[in-house]
Amino acid sequence: MTGGVLLFYVTYIILLLCSLLLMAACIWSGSSLIVYASYQGLSGIFTSVAGAGLLLLGVLQTVFIMLFLFSRHRTVVPYRTIVTEQEQPVLFDFIHKLVKQTKAPLPKKVYLVPDVNAVVFHSPGIMGLFGEADKNLVIGLGMVNSLNISEFKMVLAHEFGHFSQRSMKLVLHVYTINRIIYNILYENRSWRSAIIWLSNKGLLAALFSRVFVLLAAGLHFLFRQMHELINRQYMRLSREMEFQADEVALSICGTDTAISAMRRAEMSNACFQQLLQRTTSWARQQRFIRNIYEAHSMLIKYHAKQNSTPLDHQQLPQYDDDQFGTTVKSQVQFRDKWASHPTQEEREQRYLAAGIPGVKIPQSAWTLFHDAETLQEQMSHQIYDVLAPEEMPEQWSSAADFIREIETFHEQYAFPAPYNSYYDDRPFSDISPGRLEPFSEEEQTLYTLSTLYPKSHRQRIRHYFRDVQDAATLQAIITGEIQVPQFTYENVQYRNHEALKVLDKLHQQITRDSQWLQDQDLMALRYHYTFALQHALEAATNLQEQYRRILSHQVRANALNEIAGIIMESIPAFYGASNTPPEKADARLGILRQEAEQLLQLLQELLFQHHISDQWEPELQQKVTHFIQYQYPYMLEHPPLPEGLETMHDISASVSDHYNNSIVLMKKDFLYRCLDFSELSVPH
């Protein structure tokens, strides 16, 4: 890692020196030619021009290199509040004691941020890179909101474990280098502006600008390769650093505390992100929560209730292996080049292997903070300043109202409990439209609601749709849409050229599970159809027709989703390149018009289905009507304007969201209807 860092700095310095040497050589050569030409009379005019051009080229290339390599970039951290020992004496006493236990240096400054996180960082600047820089600690109040004192101690001890690592200095260098490279490749506009300015200053200047474009392409290639080289080593180092910091914290806090801290933090972060999304939409409606962290705690408890997760005496969820293991994650993994943390599974395995006992302090981590409620409200104000800076609180809503709205929304779209989440978050199977066969007498004795909808089926269905998504990821690796040198599948590492072999194996499993799900859905539908037939032929026919209508709506909704995606891709493709050849522009316009025609047909169909379109907001109904009457005819005669495309995407995406919600309600109504035709409806 040290070698990679030194290589970058040496390369950086060599580029600067070469540029300066080239400038000196061009100035000397150009000046010499001009002086020589002054003795040649009229015949020396061309020599003088060549000398002046050479001199100008030397100066311009140095200016270009300076603009290319040096660009001031200031990282803005919107939420970061410094806290002192006078303000929080108990917290700092806790930190002082923990520093002694971990044998780590005391942080120079302690900052508070709103999210579910805790990090350490060096003070920025030259001293941080090449001198003995101050070390700082950042504490996320969302983290405090979801942990007890023992778990909070585990999190901070992990960060102090980083404080004691000499390799933290290398991490700072790598972070700085990544920022420099990212700025050069994507953010630095000064050299591009200089080339554009130069290209408009005459023929000679335009030739110079073309040379600099080629030079920029070469430098871009060089820095991309440098980034690959450095981060390949950094990934190995960062994983070891995380494991070593875990060892420091684990030796102090114990295995059980480490596992519960990580699980609570992960679920708390998911709740906090959901909270921020809702908070933003509420702010647009002039609805504000004075204390966001109160709502965060209530949301954590609500999700625990939804997943039958017990709470401890401090009202914090207790996640066991079964409850936390229900999350189905992709089996195709490839680490982000900027990532620095091992997976949760890897860390838990190490915690369990260590088997270190620890003392638990169950009180909330908020007990370490003075005047916690005021602190929460201050941070809540900061969140609003960033998420909704233009909105001003006119009235305050209670956190209970916020949770009640989430609960109402969930209840509105929740399927009946007897199905044990069997139909949740997936489409109904496409069962052939032939007349359903009722159960035989033997089948009627074999199948019940509990045998058709056991809880175990839900996990297999999740695995099936996970595999479908993994297959799409592998296909993207094969086609080059996702460019990675290697990936892991089922914790086994493969090179990218082996993706096809893994995909073939995965397709076999998908085929088996797809057929199983098709058979299960058919058996379940036949079960309810049999009870409906015993009730009345008309009831059975209506049940079958209701299922078919849902299938047709699903097909229409999928088409709408695809249209929204294609339009979104077309916006940058159509307007992002100014030098697009006419034939390509015409082809893109043809695709857009084709998608617009499909969108028009779907919107017209949905408008006539009032049980769907009447649920749209008035603003969306106006947009749809305007598109049908004006935007679509305009697209047939003229290329669409960028704002017109954005409006078209907004319409397709908004209608798609509403339509999918409507389909969920149709499914819910159908499933309740099915319960009327089941053993539950038979009198005992």
Give the pLDDT of residue 578: 46
Whether 91 contacts 368, CB under 8 Å: yes
Give the pLDDT of residue 684: 41
Residue pLDDT, tens place only, 395-416? 788 889 888 988 998 999 999 9
Instruction: Please say if the pLDDT value at position 499 is more than 80.
Output: yes
Give the pLDDT of residue 13: 86
Range name among 265-279, 447-461, 576-590 with the lowest pLDDT average: 576-590
Which are the contacts of 312, defined by CB distance < 8 A and separation ≥ 6?
318, 362
pLDDT tier, 669 (very low <50, low <70, confident <90, very high otherwise) = very high
Provide the whole-model pTM.
0.73
Q: Which two tokens stand for residue 269?
A: 């972060």
pLDDT tier, 191 (very low <50, low <70, confident <90, very high otherwise) = low
Residue pLDDT, tens place only, 609-625? 888 888 888 888 888 89
Instruction: Please say if the pLDDT value at position 680 is more than 90.
Output: no
Give the pLDDT of residue 126: 52
Average of per-residue pLDDT across 201-218: 74
For residues 364 and 146, give the distance between their C-alpha atoms in angstroms, rounded to a whole number: 8
Instruction: Please say if the pLDDT value at position 57 is more than 70.
Output: yes
pLDDT tier, 339 (very low <50, low <70, confident <90, very high otherwise) = very low
For residue 291, count other CB atoms closer than 10 A to its CB. Answer: 18
**What are the sequence ranges of the domains in the chain?**
2-74+189-232, 78-188+243-323+342-413, 441-681
pLDDT tier, 573 (very low <50, low <70, confident <90, very high otherwise) = low
Give the pLDDT of residue 338: 42
Which residue would you say has higher pLDDT here, 531 or 130? 531
pLDDT tier, 424 (very low <50, low <70, confident <90, very high otherwise) = very high
Which amino acid belongs to residue 202? Answer: G
Instruction: Please say if the pLDDT value at position 335 is more than 60.
Output: no
Give the pLDDT of residue 481: 82
Q: Alpha carbon of 272 to those of 146, 277, 278, 408, 410: distances in Å?
A: 10, 9, 10, 19, 17
Burial class (CB in 10 A: 0-12, 13-18, 19+), 235: middle
Average of per-residue pLDDT across 554-563: 91
Residue pLDDT, tens place only, 237-260? 777 888 888 888 999 999 999 999
Which are the contacts of 342, defined by CB distance < 8 A and separation ≥ 6?
239, 242, 243
Residue (of 515, 508, 543, 514) closest to 528 by Cα position:
543
